Every structure is written in structure tokens, then in C-alpha cells.
Structure 1
Amino acid sequence: MGIVLLILAGIIEVGLAVYSIKTKSNQKRIRNWVRISALIVFVVFVTIIKWSLRWEIPAAVLLIFGIIAVISLLRNKEEKKYRPVGNIFKAVGTWVLIAVALLPAIIFPQHKAVAATGFYDVTTKMFTLTDDKRNETFTDSEEKRKVNIEFWYPKNAIGKYPLIVFSHGAFGIKASNSSTFENLASNGYVVVSIDHPYHSLYTRDSDGNMTLADQSFMQEVQDANNGVYDEETSFKLEQKWLKLRTDDINFVMNTIKQQASNQASDEVYQLIDTNKIGLIGHSLGGAAAAKLGRDRHDIAAVINLDADLLGGELGVKDGKPVINKDIYPVPLLSIYTDTMKNLMESVTDPNLVLPQKYISDTAPDAYEVFIKGTNHLSLTDLPVVSPFFAKMINGSTDKSTTAHAADKYKVLETMNEIVLEFFNSYVKDEGSFHAAKTY
């Protein structure tokens, strides 16, 4: 809709400029009425759409234009001398100002929500947790590590519900898979999503302080994706990243379990059944979730969204990768995109066994699912929330190509259905899990 309004504004400004040049007049009165009409039309427009922050800036600009136009009409001053160049600059300047005002609507267009399938209404709550046992390694202040979390859970519910813990990908945010969280919560789960400060694109704590992604971390990830490092260096970096993630997840899970046993804690903690816990993560978060599936004994099931598992399932000996041969101990579902499928198929060395392939071949409850027509970010909400950013990020990091892009809503609906069925089976112990190999 933002693009449509921008094109419409361009047509109007070009039309006014052409008409002014043709009539050799500034057409001040017509311009004023156009500004007033544009404001009226926009007011009517926002009454039939969902009002949000994306429309506040263009509304303010049009309101200012409208006020100036009304004052100009009331004062009814004589027109200034006609200057063709001035009219052209005025048209371009007005259009540029409107374009800037419409940027939020263009980058984050209004979109329909991915439907939740459960019957519970869902509410959210955010907390900032401080880990007194860890110093923040990204600063020199010796402050303690703070982790921001957000819960999605059934509203006005009673009883106990399983806990699902989510970890986002590199440069992701805790809201990256909100549609998945909404769907799980509507079906009787408490979901907690973790913002990993300095790994997250941005995060804001309970005091309103914002933390952006660390530049050195971003550069390391980009260099690793571009093959800058040798295998041993890549492995060490992945271990460093994973340690931060798993330390954060362990801290959050242990804190939640403590709060759940405290009768004086917030109501959301009282809803959690700490005997039923599942983990899920995207990309680096998926690798961290899979690693904790081995490390902890209170995890019922793990879902990996498009992570290669190299950091958690490989070691290095004499400069060569060595795979973990221990049977994966808990049910593991890996949902992959064309990006990961292409990566797997590019491995032609018969002596190199991919860890996810080894797990699926040896573990009794390991599953692999591929969703066609997808790329790495398709398993997040970003293609729906901001198609602009999704294309930009994929264009810079994803070198694979997708011949036929799948419908972004259908992808999320399919993924959310699979995720729910898997956790229902292995966390709630309701029914058996069945999934096709390819969707």
C-alpha cells in the first residue's frame, strides 16, 4: 500500500508541475485544494485500514500540508511570479518528503496475520533477567549479563502448560517467529523467546535501554558465510557463538524453573509445567537448541529450523572435522529450506558425513522435513513483516537460488502445523508424529 501511495503522490506532483508549466502559472489555489483533498482522502483511508505507527508520519506530513493550504486560502495573497524551475523543484521536493514519510509503510507494509489454530486467546509479557554469575563480555564495564525474554501464553487460563523455549538466528530478534509462538500458545503452550544481546539485531530491556548487534560478531558471521576461515577457525568461532547462546538458554530455563516453584512469582510462571519442556531455534538458535538437547536432561524434544548443526555436532582433530557418533538422545525435528538442501547436496566428499544426516540415520526419533520454494529466512516471519528486508538480507547472505518461491503465508502455516504436531506428540504425549519428507 505504501508503494501505491508513493506512485499516486508522484503522479499528482508531476501533473501539477506539467499543468503549471503549460498554463505558465504557479496554480497556487489548485495546489492548496489538492493538499486539503489529499488530507481528507487519507483520513478516510486510515478509517478502513489498521491504524499503526507506519501511518503516523505520513499523516503528520499531510496534516502540515493541509494546515498550510487552509491558511494560504484564507489569506488569499496574490500569487508570486511564475518560475518553471521553481515549480519543478517544488514538485520533486514534495514527492521526496512524502517518500521519506512513507518509508515505514513501504519497508513494513500492512499485512494480514498468520492465523492461529488454537482456541485460547494469547497474551504476552516481557522481562529482563540478570545473570549474576556472568559478566558481559561485549563491554568493558564488568556489568552482569542481561537477557531479555518475552512470553506468549494463554490469556485468562488456569492450570499448567508445557514450556517451549525459542532462540533466534544471528542478527534475529525474539519476535522473529511470533506467528509460531501465537499458534503454540493458542493451543495450550507457554512460549518464551530469548533476545541474545549483541547477537540480536536489537533488543530493549525493561528500562528502555537498547542494545544493537555487535559489529565484530556480525563481521565474523559474514566472513564465515563467505568461506574466509579454514575449518578449524570456523569451528572455534561457532563454539564461541554457541557457548553464549547455550549459556543464555540455560540461564533462562533455570530461572524459569526457579520462578515456577515460587508461589510469589509472576502469574505467567505459575502456568508453566516444568516437567514438559521443548526447545526450538532458527539457524544459530537451532544449533544451540540441538546442542542443549544433548547437554540437558529435562528436554523432551527439539526442533531445528534450518541450522546445519556443525558447531554442536562436530569436533576438530588434527585440523580435520570429527563427527559426534553418540546417538542423539531426544526426539529431533529438522525443518529445512532450499538453502540448506542445496548446501547438503553440494557436499560431494564421500568421507564427509554431515551431522544432521548422521543423526537422521541413527537416532530413533529424528526427522527431516524440506519445504520447497523457500530460503533461509522463509522459516521466520520476516518475509511477511518486511519483504524488503527479507529480500535484502537473503540477497547478501544466501547464494543459492529458488526457482519457484512458495507462498510465504502457506510456508508459515505449514511450518507451524508441523511444529505443533511434533511438540504435541513428544512434549504433551498426545498422539504420534507423522510428517512428509517434502512439502
Structure 2
Amino acid sequence: MDVTGPYTIGTERYTYTDEKRTENYSDIGENRQVNVVFWYPEGTGGVELYPLVVFSHGGLGTETSNESLYRELASHGYIVGAIGHPYHAFWTKSEDGRTTFVSRAYFAELQREDAGRDKEQSFRYYQSWMGIRTADIHFVLDTILARAAGGADGVYALVDGTRIGVMGHSLGGSAALAIPRQRDDVVAVIALESPFFYEIIGVENGEFLWLDKAYPVPVLNIYSDSSWSHLSAWPQYARNAALLTDAPETAVSLHLPGAGHFSLTDLALASPLLTRLLEGGQPNHDRVGYLQEVNRACLEFLNRYLKNPAETAEIK
């Protein structure tokens, strides 16, 4: 898919080892390793600094799940770091070429989770998944910012640590939504069809209990046909539904009709047939055009909050 921005795009892949965490999905006591692939403006001579956007993939995604979006943002002057969450990704590849596939135990949890049937079990899963995902995002952000501040070259030399956004699809979007609750250097969040799992703080009398605090930063929630008509009915989406009727100007809910959940990712391009099967036979649609709408909405939102008016005017 062609990009619309003026910058050429470079890529780099790194694997970060978290010395403070032991891998939950391994029994050999190894430290958790997190893979990150960057897309960034290339050939700028290091004279400019660019906003940093970190992306967390869906429940069984990969670090390249939304590559068309990463490339579009990079072409407009963003640094995008897409995380490959080991054992939560369908597969993820480390810097040395080693591939890690999804954990069977985690996959079984995804299959069993049903908030309509057993909220207590769902709540336990949400806490576990959010704990792993948010720790990965914090670790990646802290590592990038430390290397940028320490004078590292390559992509790190281009990072503006004062302009940070976090994004994600599905479960990754849920993790992204949690980050501004835990740190104060994130300026904006985008979630592609994601419940506010972190906002669920317990279960009482068979219902979820929700955090009672205003969302702290601008947020864009994008929905496909898969969830839009169910937001008020699905208990894990109650906070999303509330934002449709009672939201500040900085909380945007956008429905892009005509496609389903996985059409919000590049799977729609890589495997149209699989996408239709996963979406329950979603009718044929303009896959490229749909993703262009998703990418355009994300770019416009990030421009509003991560770029100053002069920069935005230059790239339109």
C-alpha cells in the first residue's frame, strides 16, 4: 500500500532483554525478551526530532500486523515502534532471527474467556494479560527513551521524548489504553476496537466494577461493524459505550462501517479469505480503501495532539 507522506522510510529491528522480569511462559528462568521493529523517517541527517508512537498488536497478532499504518505514519514524520509480545504474538522474531510462537496456555485462555458467562474468570484473565502487556510497553518506552537520552545513534537519535503516543489493536489497544493511567509522559492514545480492560477493577454481584476517574489524555477509539452495535450489550465494553453519550471533546469514538475486526489490520491485505472466515463471512469490501480510512483517521488524530500546527500544515 502506497504512503502519502514526504519522508522515505527506514526500518530497524531490536530485541530488548528485561533484567527485572522472568519469562512467565518459560520454566528455565530466563529473562523476558521483547522484540521491537521501528519504522521511521530516513535520511534526515538527524537534524530533526520526531514524535514516538508505540504499537501493541492484537491477541494473536504480530509486530507487523499494521505495517501499512506504521509506514504511513513514518512517511509523515513519526517514529513507530511496533512491539512483538513473546508468547502473546502468533509469532515474533528476535534480532538474531529466533522465532517465538504463541503459548498454548495463553491461546487456551483466549478461547475460554467469556465475559457474558463468567466475569470472575474474565477479570482474572484481563489482569494477567494487562500485566504482561503493559509491562512490555513500559519497558520498551523506557528503553527507547534511555537510549535516546544517552546519545545512541540510529533511530534513537531521532526520538522526541516529549511527544509520545501509544496505540494498539484489540487486546493491544486495551493495553495501550491502560498506559496513561500508569505514566504521565504519554500525550495521546489510539485503540482499534479495544475494551478498557484496565478500567475494570473487580466483580461485584455478578457485574464488573469500573474505575471512576476521567480518562487522562486524548483518546481515539475506532470500531468496525464487529463491535459497533454491541458496545452497550457486551459487558467488557461498558466504558466504551459510556463514551458514546458522555465524553469530553478529547475522547473520539469513530465507527468505520463496511468491514469487521480483522479488517482493521493488514491481515485483510495478506489473507482476504482468512479475514472473511474470522469475521464470519463479512461481505467483500474495498480492503485497501478501508485501511486507508483507518490510517487517515489515526494520522489526523496524532497530528492534532503530537504535532504543532506548523508541522501539520507542512505535511498536508
Give me the TM-score of the superposition, normalised by structure 2.
0.92
Do the aligned residues in 2 keep the contact of 1:171 with 1:200 (CA within 8 Å)?
Answer: yes
Do the aligned residues in 2 keep the contact of 1:167 with 1:194 (CA within 8 Å)?
Answer: yes
C-alpha root-mean-square deviation of aligned residues, in Å?
A: 2.0
Q: Secondary structure at the match of 2:165?
A: strand
Do the aligned residues in 1 keep the contact of 2:62 with 2:91 (CA within 8 Å)?
Answer: yes
2:299 alignment partner in structure 1: 420
2:140 alignment partner in structure 1: 252
Do the aligned residues in 2 keep the contact of 1:327 with 1:362 (CA within 8 Å)?
Answer: no
* Matched residue count: 307
Distance 1:370 1:122 in 2: 30
1:89 alignment partner in structure 2: none
Give the deviation of 1:170 after TM superposition.
Answer: 0.6
Give the deviation of 1:353 after TM superposition.
Answer: 8.1
Q: Secondary structure at the match of 1:362?
A: coil
Distance 2:9 2:237 in 1: 43
1:65 alignment partner in structure 2: none
2:239 alignment partner in structure 1: 355
1:378-404 deviation per Cα after TM superposition (whole angstroms, max 9, x unaligned): 110011111233234334xxxxx74x5
Distance 1:302 1:115 in 2: 25
Distance 2:173 2:209 in 1: 20
- Looking at CA atoms only, which structure, 1 or 2, has the larger radius of gyration? 1
1:370 alignment partner in structure 2: 255
1:315 alignment partner in structure 2: 201
1:391 partner letter: R
Give the one of 220, 224, 230 matched to 2:109.
220
1:400-431 deviation per Cα after TM superposition (whole angstroms, max 9, x unaligned): x74x5431111110111110010000111338
Is residue 2:215 matched to residue 1:328?
Answer: yes
Do the aligned residues in 1 keep the contact of 2:123 with 2:203 (CA within 8 Å)?
Answer: no
2:27 alignment partner in structure 1: 140
2:5 alignment partner in structure 1: 118
Distance 2:26 2:100 in 1: 11
2:99 alignment partner in structure 1: 210
1:314 partner letter: I
Give the deviation of 1:355 after TM superposition.
Answer: 0.5
Higher relative CO (Cα under 8 Å, sequence separation at least 6) belongs to: 2
Give me the TM-score of the superposition, normalised by structure 1.
0.67
Distance 1:430 1:323 in 2: 36
1:391 alignment partner in structure 2: 276
1:164-199 deviation per Cα after TM superposition (whole angstroms, max 9, x unaligned): 100000110000000000000000011000000000
Is residue 2:156 matched to residue 1:269?
Answer: yes
Give the deviation of 1:344 after TM superposition.
Answer: 1.6
Give the one of 142, 157, 163 matched to 2:52.
163
1:303-332 deviation per Cα after TM superposition (whole angstroms, max 9, x unaligned): 0001122x2122224343112220101000
What fraction of aligned residue pairs are identical, expressed as a percent? Answer: 38
Distance 2:239 2:277 in 1: 30
Distance 2:160 2:211 in 1: 32
Would you tell me which structure has more helix in proportion to its own residues? Answer: 1
Do the aligned residues in 2 keep the contact of 1:323 with 1:353 (CA within 8 Å)?
Answer: no
Distance 1:346 1:380 in 2: 24
Give the one of 286, 289, 296 matched to 1:407.
286
Is residue 2:171 matched to residue 1:284?
Answer: yes
Distance 1:375 1:248 in 2: 27
Is residue 2:125 matched to residue 1:237?
Answer: yes
2:309 partner letter: E
Alignment of 1:64-213 (within 5 A): 114-157=1-44, 158=46, 159-213=48-102
Distance 2:270 2:226 in 1: 21
Distance 1:353 1:185 in 2: 31
Distance 1:168 1:370 in 2: 20
Consecutive unaligned residues in structure 1, runs of 5 or more: 1-113, 396-400, 434-439
Between 1:368-377 and 1:315-324, the stretch displaced more is 315-324
2:9 partner letter: V
Q: Secondary structure at the match of 1:344?
A: coil
Distance 2:260 2:284 in 1: 9
1:295 alignment partner in structure 2: 182
Distance 1:342 1:364 in 2: 22
2:240 partner letter: Q
